[in-house]
């Protein structure tokens, strides 16, 4: 009976630890993003090749970094098989897409009044940062699946997998969906 009990404990420990490699890599990625520190994120991405969200592309748009700071997540489930992993995640991120139409209208007004491109970037940044400071900030709460692969012995986000597009969209506050919303 004692041996059976010990074997059951060992089995429970083995099952509860499975998937920990990809889970830890995902959590590391999210925690670096949540830092909002462009240097940390850049270094992490260069080292691990993780993500479509290259912070160098944000330029002067630090509102995305502020948005990342307000993002929360909870890993719900990890299914790891050999060199592939699917992680089910509950993610809460600022809903920037909710505010984008109005901000983009302000941007269009600026463009039609002869404003320069640098003024447009500043306007976007200022308006979205103002939104992110709001006490009534709206959030996206979604469950998404994140696909990871093992590359050179490390777990990384599978950026070529289209199934990760929804995860990245939530991280961006669904701002990438604004074109489809405006055309409806």
- Tens digits of residue pLDDT in 11-21: 333 333 344 69
- pTM score over 0.75: yes
pLDDT of residue 182: 44
CB contact at 8 A, 19 and 79 = yes
Measured on CA atoms in the order 40, 44, 49, 52, is the torsion positive or negative? negative
The alpha-carbon radius of gyration of the chain (Å, integer) is 20
Per residue in 80-132, pLDDT (tens digit) is: 999 999 999 999 999 999 999 988 888 788 777 776 666 777 888 899 999 99
């Amino acid at each position: 009976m004692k041996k059976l009990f010990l074997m059951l404990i060992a089995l429970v420990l083995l099952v509860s630890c499975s998937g920990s490699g990809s889970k830890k890599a995902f959590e590391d990625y999210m925690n670096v993003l949540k830092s909002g520190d462009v240097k940390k994120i850049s270094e992490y991405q260069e080292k691990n090749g993780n993500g479509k969200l290259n912070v160098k592309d944000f330029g002067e748009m630090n509102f995305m970094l502020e948005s990342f700071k307000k993002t929360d997540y909870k890993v719900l489930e990890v299914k790891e098989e050999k060199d592939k992993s699917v992680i089910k995640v509950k993610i809460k991120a600022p809903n920037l897409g909710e505010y984008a139409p109005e901000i983009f209208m302000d941007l269009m007004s600026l463009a039609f009044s002869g404003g320069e491109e640098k003024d447009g970037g500043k306007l976007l940044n200022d308006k979205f940062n103002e939104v992110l400071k709001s006490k009534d900030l709206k959030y996206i709460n979604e469950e998404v699946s994140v696909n990871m692969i093992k590359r050179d012995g490390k777990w990384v986000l599978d950026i070529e997998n289209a199934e990760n597009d929804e995860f990245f969209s939530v991280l961006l506050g669904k701002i990438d969906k604004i074109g489809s919303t405006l055309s409806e």
